[in-house]
Structures are given as C-alpha cells and as structure tokens.
Structure 1
Amino acid sequence: LAGERPDSHFDSGKSLSGEPDPGKSPSGEPDPETFTKLQNLRVHERTHRGEKPFHCSQCGKRFTRLENLKQHDRIHRGEKPYHCSHCGKRFRSLGTLTTHERIHTGEMPYHCSHCGESFRWSGSLKTHERTHTQEKPYQCSLCGKRFTELGSLKIHNRIHTGEKPYYCSQCGINFTWLASLKTHERIHTGERSYHCSHCGKSFSGLVNLKQHERVHTGEKPYQCTLCGKHFTHLGNLKEHERTHTEIKPYQCSLCGKSFTKLVGLNKHDRTHTRGDKTYHYNLIGSSCRSQQHSFFRR
C-alpha cells in the first residue's frame, strides 16, 4: 500500500509470518515483561559471542553490560554508595552489600546436594562440592599438582618461586605461609595455645601438638617403602631410609669418616675432642653442597 512504512508490521502486534509478535501485546503495544526478557536474552547472548560494547574511558576495560561499567567506574571515583545498616561498611554494588549482610543475618542460602551443608556464598558451595566430586580444576604448570581452589594453587606456587611474603616484625625472618609466621611469632610471645588432652603439655603450633599426640595414640603414619617399617615422624623415616640407601650425610671434618645419623657422628667426635664440647662436621648429600657446621654441646 502506498505510504506504508517498511517496518509497519511491528505496529500490528504480528510478525512478518502473521503470528503474534513475542515482544508485543495483541493490541500492538509493547509487552513490558516480554520486552525485559528479550533484553536480558540479548545481553546474555553477548557472553557467548564475546561481545563487550561498553568500555571504560579511564582504563579501557570493556564490559558486556552497562551496569557492570557503571559499577566499575566507581573504582576510579572511589564511590561506595551502598552501606551496611549493621556495621556501616560501604560497598560499590548492591550485590556485594547483599552478600556481605549474610555475615550479620546468618543467612546461608546455598545448600550442598550431596550432604546438605549450607553456605553463605555460591563460591564456597562450589569449592565444597569438589570434596565430593574430587574435582581439582587448578593445576600447577611447573610440577602438575592439582588443587581444588585457585587460592591453594597460588600458595603452592611459592614453593617454586621461592616467594616468602610473610615476615616477622621482630626478627625479620621471612615465611612462605601465613600459618608458619603465626607459629613462629609465638616463639617471641611465649604463647602456647595448643594443649595435649592426654598429658596437658602445651605447644606453640598445631603441627607440634599433632606430632606429640602420636606418643599417646601410637600412630605411626610414615612407612618405609623398602621394608614396611612404620615411624611416628617423617624425620625418623628419612633417617631410617639411609640404612637401605647407605647414604651417610654427616661427615667428620677432622678425619672424614661419614655417618648415617647425627648422633653417630656426635659419639665419634668425642674420640677427637677428649672433653672439648665443640663439635665440627660436614653435612654432605646428593642434593646439596657440602656444608661445614660446628656447635657447642651442653
């Protein structure tokens, strides 16, 4: 028809095929609910196409949704418009505030389908579920070891990089792990927070307590792969394994005689010292250079 607009079919409430237009009501007016769903669908489809039409004018970072860009802009402006009514802490997004408030309300909306345990955050649930599925999606590129959490992989990587980000403010010693620093700091404070339930003896670290408890329980978790003998401590196992390998890392610096155990060197050293309580020895091994040591025995 003369004068008809090319897109006049959109005003009829029907599509080109004559079927009702999903974005229009029968009267031809836009249906708000359907329109919103279509808009959300189009935005969602960008995640599949990798389309990010919104970009930050300050740093160039791109976003799929305008809302995400606006939220990002607050980082540059330092704006935190949402505040917690319980503690006053401020947040850049409403979603972050809502998640934070669960700390105060005790709400745990995410439930494990395997065991029923509840969690405040979806990320915590996903991490927990891997204990059931045994999934370890994060792999070390250097040694191949796999981890349940990305954070665990990052901490593990310090073994390879030699990074020790935690240091003691009192003596300056650096540590790979925060837990190691906290245990070390108790040397300075004299704090012994861990107590043996069997004998009451106190320890500065949980690891020390667990090792001590094996004296009471008789647990020997370390087994020699060559003869099957069990040991309470890993150090004792390594010392025992030298009886099979004939590795003798402790060498007398005076005569060159080598020993499997340090205690053997100590006994031998007395034949040279004759009452002098200063011991001298070389620590040798296949994986380290020879090192000379001396110590005073009380």
Structure 2
Amino acid sequence: GEQQPYCCDMSNKSFSHHSSPKKHQCIHSGERPFCCEVCGKSFNQKVHLKTHERTHSGKRPFCCEACKKSFSQQGHLKTHQRIHSGERPFCCNVCNKSFNDQSNLKKHQGLHSGERPFYCDVCNKSFSDHSNLKKHQGTHSGKRPFFCDMCNKSFSQQVNLKRHQRIHSGKRKFCCEVCKKSFSQQGCLKRHQRIHSGERPFCCDVCNKSFSERGHLKRHVSPHT
C-alpha cells in the first residue's frame, strides 16, 4: 500500500501528509484553537469550525440531485440520499433489521439491550435515546410551539400536531384488516382491534378483573379505593 511516513507519537497512527499528525494530536491534547466568532464555540480542526459556521449563516451547499433538498453537511446529504436509493447499510446484529442511518441503528439497539441512559432531571424518567428525552422534557416546560393553522390548538410535539390535523383533513389511514373500519390514529385502531381479538390487557390489582381499555379499568378501580 501507499507509504505513510508521518506518525502520531501517542497512538502510533500514521499519515501520508506532514500536517495531518498535528491536526490529529489535538484529539489527545484537548486543544481547540478554532473559535466561532458568533457564539464562541471552539473546535480542534478548522474543517469542523467551517461546518459549524453554516448553522449561523444558513448556507446549505450540498444538494440532492433527486429532490433538490439541500444540506449544510455532506454527511447529512449522504444519509438523505439513502431514502432515494433504498440503501440500508447499518444492520442490527440481534434481529438483522437494517437502517439507513447509524444513529437510528443505535436507537434501535437500545430496545434489545434495555439500556435507557438518558434521564429527565425533573421526574427521573429514563429514555433509550436523547431525542425522546427532549420530547418528554417539553411536557414539563409547558412549551407548545407547534400550532394547528385550522383551529390554533398548540402541541408540544410535531407528531402530536400531525395526528391532530387528521381530524380536520378527514384522513383515516389506519385500517382494520378484519372489518375494514378505518381510523385517524394508530392508537384508536389498536383499541378497536381488541374487539376482534378479545384481548383485555388492563387488569385490576384488587379483584383481577381485566379490561380492553385503560379508561375502563380506572372507572372500575374507583369503588375499590
């Protein structure tokens, strides 16, 4: 292979260009000499600073040829392009499910490991990934930044807004395979399907009577308490 004569003294990693070991050694030293003039955040390499600066400038120089969507980072463009190509190179070694993005694979693997390292500092509830923690924290902050443009109702999460908007649009995309009845929300379909399956997953701790819906269990429990 190609000779790489420049070597890092700490990790023995070798490089083909004389300036590369100096850049690499910032990882070991913790030195972050490249500073953002807008927010003061610092970086160990100039290329990382340049990438960060686009968050302030709004520049998105990497464009998808298929749909013309643009991105601030080349890596984000590559991940996006897999939507068009169908490529899913990141595979779970437990169940063989594959993903187009490594971060989605890591989130998925948390389901197998049961690991929930992200804790809410208000109620101590734990989550398998950081994005779910952030969504949850919105319930404590009271922030509801997602507004319905039809009725002005607000929501803490975009997914809840989209679910709500189906009330206005009349979309009922969740269909029962048994009786073909359709629903605007997946949760409503699941509750309905228990009529066919006979499933009663909500059980009273006092008398062991079971119910198909949590609300029915709550009404039942009141006389016991």
TM-score with structure 1 setting the length: 0.62
User: Cα gap change, 1:77/1:261 in structure 2, threshold over 3 Å: closer, same or farther?
Assistant: closer
Q: 2:107 aligns with which of 139, 155, 164?
A: 155
Residue matched to 1:58? 10
Residue matched to 2:125? 173
Q: 1:137 aligns with which of 89, 94, 97?
A: 89
Q: Give yes or no for the alignment of 1:113 onto 2:44.
A: no
Alpha-carbon distance, 1:135 to partner: 1.7
- 1:71-113 Cα deviation digits (max 9, x unpaired): 1122233334444556555443343344444445554443322
User: Cα gap change, 1:241/1:193 in structure 2, threshold over 3 Å: closer, same or farther?
Assistant: same
Q: 2:189 aligns with which of 205, 212, 237?
A: 237
Q: Give yes or no for the alignment of 1:208 onto 2:153.
A: no
Q: Distance in 1 between matches of 2:36 and 2:202?
A: 62
User: Cα gap change, 1:105/1:194 in structure 2, threshold over 3 Å: closer, same or farther?
Assistant: closer
Partner SS state of residue 219, structure 1: coil
Alpha-carbon distance, 1:154 to partner: 1.6
AA at the equivalent of 1:204: S
- 1:161-188 Cα deviation digits (max 9, x unpaired): 2222322212222122334333333333
CA RMSD of aligned residues (A): 3.2
Map 1:59-78; keep pairs closer than 5 Å.
59-78=11-30
Extract unaligned runs of 5+ from structure 1.
1-44, 280-295
Residue matched to 1:182? 134
Sequence identity percentage? 40
Map 1:1-298; keep pairs closer than 5 Å.
46=2, 52-84=4-36, 89-251=41-203, 257-262=209-214, 269=220, 277-279=222-224
Q: Distance in 1 between matches of 2:106 and 2:67?
A: 28
AA at the equivalent of 2:175: Q
Q: Distance in 2 between matches of 1:94 and 1:60?
A: 23
Higher Cα Rg: structure 1 or 2? 1
Q: Distance in 2 between matches of 1:150 and 1:228?
A: 37
User: Cα gap change, 1:106/1:239 in structure 2, threshold over 3 Å: closer, same or farther?
Assistant: closer
Alpha-carbon distance, 1:158 to partner: 1.7
Q: Distance in 1 between matches of 2:168 and 2:49?
A: 49
Alpha-carbon distance, 1:138 to partner: 1.4
Q: Distance in 2 between matches of 1:85 and 1:266?
A: 57
| Stretch deviating more after TM superposition (55-64 or 254-263) | 254-263
TM-score with structure 2 setting the length: 0.78
AA at the equivalent of 1:69: P
AA at the equivalent of 1:278: P
Extract unaligned runs of 5+ from structure 2.
none
Q: Distance in 1 between matches of 2:107 and 2:207?
A: 44
Q: Distance in 2 between matches of 1:188 and 1:259?
A: 30
Partner SS state of residue 180, structure 2: coil
Q: Which has the higher contact order (CA 8 A, sep 6+)?
A: 2
Partner SS state of residue 247, structure 1: coil
AA at the equivalent of 1:211: R
User: Cα gap change, 1:115/1:183 in structure 2, threshold over 3 Å: closer, same or farther?
Assistant: closer
User: Cα gap change, 1:167/1:119 in structure 2, threshold over 3 Å: closer, same or farther?
Assistant: same
Partner SS state of residue 278, structure 1: helix
- 1:22-71 Cα deviation digits (max 9, x unpaired): xxxxxxxxxxxxxxxxxxxxxxx53xxxx655432223334444432221
| Stretch deviating more after TM superposition (156-165 or 61-70) | 61-70
